[in-house]
Amino acid sequence: MKRNDSAFKSGLRSGSTFTIIVLFLVLIGFNASGSALLARLFGQAPLSGQLPPVVYGLVFLALLAIWQGASSTIASRHKGFHVPWLSGFSSTGLAGLVLAVFILVFGSLYQGGADFRRTLYALSPAYIKFLSADQSPVNGALINLFVLLIAGGIAGLAVVYLPFGKLWKQVKVTWLRFWNMDANRSLRASRYFKFGVYALLVLFCFFAPRLWGSYWNYVFGLVGIYVLLGLGLNIIVGLSGQLVLGYVAFFAIGAYTVALLNAPVPHNLMWGFWPAVVIGILLAALSGFLIGLPIMRLRGDYLAIVTLGFGEIIRVLLKSDLLTNFTGGPRGIQDIKGPSLFGFSFSSDVDFMYLIILAVALALFIASRLQNSRVGRSWIAIREDETVAQASGVNTTRYKLLALALGAAFAGIGGVLFAARNQFTGPEDHVLMVSINVLSLVIVGGMGSIPGVVLGAFALKGLPEILRELANYRLLAFGALLVVMMIARPQGLWPVGRPSLQRPEPESPPDKPEESNREVTHG
Amino acid sequence: MANCLETVQVSKLFGGLVAVDKVDLQIPERSIYSIIGPNGAGKTTLFNCISGYYTPEHGAVRYFGNEIQGLSTDTIASLGIARTYQNIRLFKEMTAIENVLIGQQPRLRSSWLDAVLHTGRYRAEEQEALDEAHRLLKFVGLGGMGDTLSRNLPYGAQRRLEIARALANHPRLLLLDEPTAGMNPQETEVMKHFIHGLREQLNLTILLIEHDMRVVMGISDRITVLDHGMKIAEGSPSEIQSNPRVIEAYLGSGTEALTEKYRRKKLQ
């Protein structure tokens, strides 16, 4: 009996955290956004400013409860409690009880005419009504309690009695059998397979921008630009291990280069887009090199602070009255002329998407070549242990400067494309948040991993654009995502392994060193 | 025979503390030279002065007649001085073979543009470097383990990998800082033969810091004893073993009285 009791208790313990989370989400009005998201999935997106149908709110709560019920049941089963599903019931039941009391209290108070919106901003009468499922406070409270309790309990029961583990194993075995089939294997090994994949990719990149419309071109264009930025910062932070927080400065230099050279207002130079691309990249690389010179001796926190300052200096300079005549000041630069080639002008979003895809492909190629070369190896060695790398003969100053200059060049091209696509750039495009975003996407993807950068860019720039509902909670979601990532996958979404360089050994390796001494003849 | 390395009156101060005090060494080419001394005697500090981590306040370090004190560590490495560390310092997240490839850095010439474009020069050099890395891994007994992350290697293998990384530089002088620290007697014996073999086959000069007296006495040509930063004795292994100042440094003064006391106790 005692053991059942402890399954129940452990459910209550984990349930108390869950309760706090649920209450918090309710208090900030996240319930409405989350359920609006669900509603959109089913094609019933609410108009802006309105609440989605009540059912989705309950479904949203039920989903939370299912997650909690399942996870707390799994935890109890790990601890070896007798009736683990009890903890599913108890944990979500606790949350349901507290939520019910909450709804009861606030619902009755609102019915009595009280208004808390001055202190609790999200709690509008409509939202309270939404929470209580369009019913009276008592009924609403009961419905919520019921939904949470049943969803959590059923999830717990399902975990215990349905053979999820076996099912998963079965799927995995079948997949592995398919993947390792002889025909499949030889297909993957053949040269044509690789070409085929590339050809498909090219075809996709050619047709997709034409088909999916301007909104998606906008979203994926932004993702592409962030992939460029991420690849550059990945070289600086992920490979050479220098924590640079002012990365946006290089982005700004690229953007302002193309803006100043191609806009009518401050200077009316109109040099054309292509020279601006080259100059922008070179200027960004040069600034990376120059900022690198004084910070070579700094490491860790100090480096982060100094580069943070550098980024802010650039932004403040762009904004300052002093340079208004030169940079356009706080108003920025408008009407930047887009690129044209042989009389054909890249004016539509589709054309620009092609340009971005081209730049990303080139950047991916250069980054992966660098990463797998002796240059990349030296960078990683510097990241691992700078003093030893230097004592092993790596010229650390040179390689760190190279990393900064190359990383800055990637940001430069990103900035050029960004400004030319928007036909506008101003100081507000180059705030600290850009640096933080890029750094986060590198960390979330996995430090030093190129596929990780692409994945991270999609996760952190693409998803928020797609999940418009969450716009108000973007920073919250950001923080939560980073915390969850650091706990669940500290190595990143797609961590990179080391390349395989070992050739197969012709004979078994010798056990003792002196036996093989004869083979070495240098000296 | 020419001297591979010479230190002339080298002193290193940390604030008021004299870590190395006017030490003279003359290390002939192709010799195995050991530095011993109690903990805190300044052995590793002297090593750091030679390999460029520290710049000695006084005195000169001469490598084949050229003064090298004050040069950066990578310059010194490219001159042909390689070292290992007392507490193993491999690049932990890199594979064994990559560690050896990093060791070859001073000899590689291709630039980052070569790497991006995969020029002929780059490919030839990379191929050669890989061949060499395979050979070195085999040489230290790690053949076939090139793709293992170096932090996953067993302790003894990590020590040998560190030596392989140092050898990748094709050094003429190898500094080994306690190569048998933390090894069992069997492994120590293997390491001893290994170090001896290094000198024989690669024509290296080896400077060794070691606490294990069986290793030191077994393979050294000459030994210098440091205590409190000062050189208190120098000579062949047999000379050192019978030097009363060395015994005093290791066991403390008044040792004779102690041994006398034990002798009497035994007699009773």
Of B219, B232, B208, the residue nearest B24 (C-alpha): B232
Task: Give the chain B residue whose CA is nearest to the CA of A365.
Answer: B116
Rg (CA), chain A: 28
In a domain, A83, yes or no: yes
Taking CB atoms and an 8 Å limit, are B53 and A391 in contact across chains?
yes
CA distances from A175 to A181, A193, A244, A428, A493 (A): 10, 20, 43, 49, 22
User: Do residues A84 and A76 lie in contact, with contact meaning Cβ atoms separated by under 8 Å?
Assistant: yes
Report pLDDT for B13.
93
Report pLDDT for B254.
60
Report pLDDT for A82.
79
Strands B173-177 vs B205-209: parallel, antiparallel or unpaired? parallel
* CA A87 – CA A8 distance, rounded (Å): 5
Higher pLDDT, residue A496 or A373: A373
Q: Please state the pTM of the whole predicted model.
A: 0.78
Of A171, A186, A206, the one marking the end of a domain is A171
> Other CB atoms closer than 10 Å to residue A274's CB: what's the count?
11
| Token pair of A133 as six digits | 């499922």
Ramachandran area for residue A509 (φ above 0: left; ψ -120 to 50: alpha; else beta): beta
* CA A184 – CA A171 distance, rounded (Å): 18
A247 & A143 share domain: no
CA distances from B14 to A17, A390, B229 (A): 53, 23, 12
**Which CATH architecture is the domain B89-170 placed in?**
3-Layer(aba) Sandwich (3.40)
pLDDT digits (tens, 9 = 90+) for B191-228: 999 999 988 888 899 999 998 888 899 899 999 999 98
Rg (CA), chain B: 21
pLDDT digits (tens, 9 = 90+) for B133-192: 999 999 998 988 889 999 999 988 999 999 999 999 899 999 999 998 888 898 899 899
A136-163 average pLDDT score: 86
Provide the chain A residues 373-392 that lie in CB contact (below 8 A) with chain B.
373-378, 380-381, 384-385, 387-392
pLDDT digits (tens, 9 = 90+) for A274-333: 999 999 999 999 999 999 999 888 888 899 999 999 999 999 998 888 888 888 888 888
A297 touches chain B (CB under 8 A): no
DSSP labels, A431-488: -HHHHHHHHHHHHHH-TT-HHHHHHHHIIIIIHHHH-GGGGGGHHHHHHHHHHHHHHH
Of A171, A205, A224, the one marking the end of a domain is A171
A367 & A279 share domain: yes
Q: In sequence order, which residues have a C-beta less than 8 Å from that of residue B227 and are 6 or more positions away?
A: B37, B38, B41, B249
ipTM: 0.89
We report the CATH number of the domain holding residue A421 as 1.10.3470
Taking CB atoms and an 8 Å cutoff, what residues of chain A touch B142?
Answer: 509
Q: How many domains does chain A have?
A: 2
Q: What is the mean pLDDT of chain B?
A: 89
B88 touches chain A (CB under 8 A): no
B83 touches chain A (CB under 8 A): yes
Task: Give the chain A residue whose CA is nearest to the CA of B126.
Answer: A374
> Other CB atoms closer than 10 Å to residue A43's CB: what's the count?
6
Higher pLDDT, residue B86 or A472: B86
Report pLDDT for A218.
86
Percent pLDDT > 90 in chain A is 29
| Token pair of B56 as six digits | 């000695």
Q: Specify the DSSP class assigned to residue A26.
A: H
* φ, ψ of residue A342 in degrees (nearest 5): 50, 45
Of A49, A33, A449, A19, the residue nearest A234 (C-alpha): A449
Query: How many angstroms away from the CA of A362 is the closest CA of chain B?
Result: 11
Least confidently predicted of A126-130, A182-186, B158-162: A182-186
A362 touches chain B (CB under 8 A): no
Residue A417 pLDDT greater than 70, yes or no: yes
Mutation target to probe the B interface, by most B beta carbons within 10 A, among A366, A392, A396 is A392
A198-207 average pLDDT score: 87
Q: Specify the DSSP class assigned to residue A506.
A: S
Taking CB atoms and an 8 Å cutoff, what residues of chain B touch A296?
Answer: none
Query: How many angstroms away from the CA of A508 is the closest CA of chain B?
Result: 8
Provide the chain A residues 204-233 that lie in CB contact (below 8 A) with chain B.
none
Higher pLDDT, residue A61 or A122: A61
Report pLDDT for A467.
61
Residue A203 pLDDT greater than 70, yes or no: yes
Taking CB atoms and an 8 Å limit, are B169 and A393 in contact across chains?
yes
Element spanning A229, H or E:
helix A213-233
Report pLDDT for A471.
62
Higher pLDDT, residue A204 or A341: A204
Taking CB atoms and an 8 Å limit, are B98 and A503 in contact across chains?
no
Element spanning B263, H or E:
helix B255-267
| Token pair of A405 as six digits | 């200059």
Task: Give the chain A residue whose CA is nearest to the CA of B80.
Answer: A393
Asked whether the CA dihedral B48, B52, B56, B62 is positive or negative, the reply is positive
Query: How many angstroms away from the CA of B72 is the closest CA of chain A?
Result: 8
* CA A457 – CA A282 distance, rounded (Å): 25
User: Do residues B75 and A393 lie in contact, with contact meaning Cβ atoms separated by under 8 Å?
Assistant: no
Higher pLDDT, residue A176 or B91: B91
A253 touches chain B (CB under 8 A): no
Query: How many angstroms away from the CA of B115 is the closest CA of chain A?
Result: 6
A301 touches chain B (CB under 8 A): no
Report pLDDT for A350.
84
A151 & A225 share domain: no
Q: What is the mean pLDDT of chain A?
A: 84
Taking CB atoms and an 8 Å limit, are B85 and A502 in contact across chains?
no
A319 & A430 share domain: yes
Taking CB atoms and an 8 Å limit, are A394 and B203 in contact across chains?
no
Query: How many angstroms away from the CA of B88 is the closest CA of chain A?
Result: 11
Q: Please provide the distance, in angstroms rounded to a whole number, between the alpha carbons at the two ends of chain B.
A: 55
Q: In sequence order, which residues have a C-beta less than 8 Å from that of residue B215 and are 6 or more positions away?
A: B180, B188, B191, B192, B195
Residue A519 pLDDT greater than 60, yes or no: no
DSSP labels, A47-110: PTTSPPPHHHHHHHHHHHHHHHHHHHHHHHHHHT-SSTHHHHHHHHHHHHHHHHHHHHHHHHHH
A226 & A116 share domain: no
Of A74, A36, A58, the residue nearest A470 (C-alpha): A36
Cα three-residue angle B123-B128-B130, rounded to 5 degrees: 95
Sheet holding B230-235, edge to edge: B81-83, B173-177, B205-209, B32-36, B222-227, B230-235
Taking CB atoms and an 8 Å cutoff, what residues of chain A touch B52?
Answer: 391
Query: How many angstroms away from the CA of B262 is the closest CA of chain A?
Result: 43
* One fold for B1-80+171-268 and B89-170: yes
* CA A437 – CA A441 distance, rounded (Å): 6
pLDDT digits (tens, 9 = 90+) for B52-89: 999 999 999 999 999 998 899 999 999 999 999 999 99
Provide the chain B residues 48-67 that lie in CB contact (below 8 A) with chain A.
51-53
pLDDT digits (tens, 9 = 90+) for A492-517: 888 887 878 877 665 544 444 443 44
Report pLDDT for A349.
79
Taking CB atoms and an 8 Å limit, are B103 and A402 in contact across chains?
no
Mutation target to probe the B interface, by most B beta carbons within 10 A, among A296, A375, A520 is A520
Interface A–B counts its CB contacts (< 8 A) at 158
A265 & A149 share domain: no
CA distances from B199 to A354, B3, B160, B219, B220 (A): 61, 15, 15, 10, 11
Taking CB atoms and an 8 Å limit, are A510 and B138 in contact across chains?
yes
B21-25 average pLDDT score: 92
Task: Tell me the residue type at A127.
Answer: Y
CA B147, distance to chain mean position in Å, is 26
Report pLDDT for A113.
77
Give me the residue from B116, B129, B139 closest to A366, CB to CB. B116
pLDDT digits (tens, 9 = 90+) for A418-439: 999 998 999 999 999 899 889 9
> Other CB atoms closer than 10 Å to residue A465's CB: what's the count?
15
| Token pair of B95 as six digits | 């594979």
| Domain that residue A75 falls in | 7-171
A271 & A418 share domain: yes
Give me the residue from B98, B145, B197 closest to A377, CB to CB. B98
Q: In sequence order, which residues have a C-beta less than 8 Å from that of residue B57 and are 6 or more positions away?
A: B11, B12, B13
* CA B28 – CA B102 distance, rounded (Å): 29
Report pLDDT for B84.
94
Higher pLDDT, residue A343 or A130: A130
Domain boundaries, chain B: 1-80+171-268, 89-170
Taking CB atoms and an 8 Å cutoff, what residues of chain B touch A366?
Answer: 116
Give me the residue from A391, A511, A523 closest to B77, CB to CB. A391
* CA A315 – CA A320 distance, rounded (Å): 9
Query: Which CATH superfamily groups domain B1-80+171-268?
Result: P-loop containing nucleotide triphosphate hydrolases (3.40.50.300)
Q: In sequence order, which residues have a C-beta less than 8 Å from that of residue B60 and are 6 or more positions away?
A: B6, B7, B8, B9, B10, B67, B69
DSSP labels, B79-122: HTEEE--SS----TTSBHHHHHHHHTGGG----HHHHHHT-HHH
